[in-house]
Amino acid sequence: MNPSLFAKRFTTTALLSCALSTSWAIAADSCEAPSASALDWVPLSEMTSEQRARIASQCCGGFIAPQAYQERIDQFADVDIDSLPLEAGSDTSLLEDGGETSVMEGNVFVRQGTRELTADSARITRSANAAELTGNVTFRDPGVLLVGDRALVKMNEGEAEIDNAQFVLHETGLRGYASAIRIREANSLTLNDGGFTSCEPGSEDWFIKSEDVDIDTQTGRGTVTGATVEILGVPVFYLPWAQFPIDDRRMSGFLVPEFSISSDGPDISAPYYLNLAPD
């Protein structure tokens, strides 16, 4: 497959490289959740001593990218990814419509350095400079994993939309889902009808549901609209609008809720950070 069919490189460089301060809520059966491995979840018992050292003491595992992908990160550590050519391939490929459409089937991949998009099949339209990928769609960037059923990529606009999607931020342990995740340019991500938590796969002791979640890595801010905070599946309060930090840049806003259970019962706190000295 000629990579030139992908006329514009992927520009989804650090779409989800956020650094939310999270507090993990433990559920005994969550470490072996059926979908956990698909989200790069590794139980504590399968980690190396070095990996365990980076995991908070109360956690029973963590999100760790596969070793082969870790090696790609090391390989391109000092390389400008945007300057690299695209690699593309599949088990089989053929041209339709007089060469206007390329159909790829089986183990489809498109790579640019550490950026990687995979699927079971893909249809690429030359004139529209667009691609439709279906079946076990995944997108990887360092610290980021998106998984979905179907993806539409508009390369001229630098946009992509993944349907029925889940996402993971490896460094922070944040995960979530949405009916659709829309990637715009290189620093903006929108989750429609979804939400997020820092609980292990299979556990949602606390969860923030929202009509829309906007994450902007350029400003270091996230915004939720029409959000409901749920504890053990029970809505506890409603936020018509709220803004929160997604990295270590200081700003006023809510931090991720902390939830715990003791002999006195459940306890939830929703810290609000007031930045009195923006400079």
- Rounded to a whole number of angstroms, the distance between the first and last alpha carbons of the chain is 51
Domain count, the chain: 1
Give me the CATH number covering residue 106: 2.60.450.10
Name the residue range of residue 85's domain: 3-273
What torsion, rounded to 10 degrees, do the Cα atoms 71, 72, 78, 82 define? -170
Q: According to the model, what pLDDT value does residue 245 have?
A: 64
Q: What is the pLDDT of residues 18-55, one digit of tens each?
A: 222 233 333 334 444 446 678 899 998 899 998 888 87
Q: Could you tell me if residue 259 is inside a domain? A: yes
Q: Could you tell me if residue 78 is inside a domain? A: yes
Give the helix/strand (H/E) hosting 168: strand 159-169
Joined together, the tokens standing for residue 44 give 């504590």
Q: Could you tell me if residue 279 is inside a domain? A: no
Q: pTM value?
A: 0.71
Can you say how many angstroms the Cα of residue 90 is from the centroid of all Cα atoms in its chain? Answer: 24
For 197-217, what is the mean pLDDT?
A: 83
CA distance 198 to 59: 11
CA distance 172 to 19: 6
Q: Could you tell me if residue 278 is inside a domain? A: no
Residue 58 above 90 pLDDT? no
CA distance 25 to 20: 15
Spell out a b/e string for 130-157, using b for 16 or more CB atoms within 10 Å of the CB, else e: bbebbeebbbbbbbbbbbbebbebebee
Residue 40 contacts by C-beta under 8 Å, 6 or more apart in sequence? 63, 64, 65, 66, 145, 168, 170
Contact predicate 202/36, CB 8 Å: yes
Q: Mean pLDDT of all residues in the chain?
A: 77
Residue 123 above 90 pLDDT? yes
Contact predicate 8/158, CB 8 Å: yes
Q: Could you tell me if residue 221 is inside a domain? A: yes
CA distance 194 to 104: 31
Q: Could you tell me if residue 155 is inside a domain? A: yes
Q: Could you tell me if residue 25 is inside a domain? A: yes
Contact predicate 64/47, CB 8 Å: yes
Residue 102 above 70 pLDDT? yes
Tally of CB atoms within 10 A around 99: 9
Tally of CB atoms within 10 A around 179: 11
Q: Could you tell me if residue 163 is inside a domain? A: yes
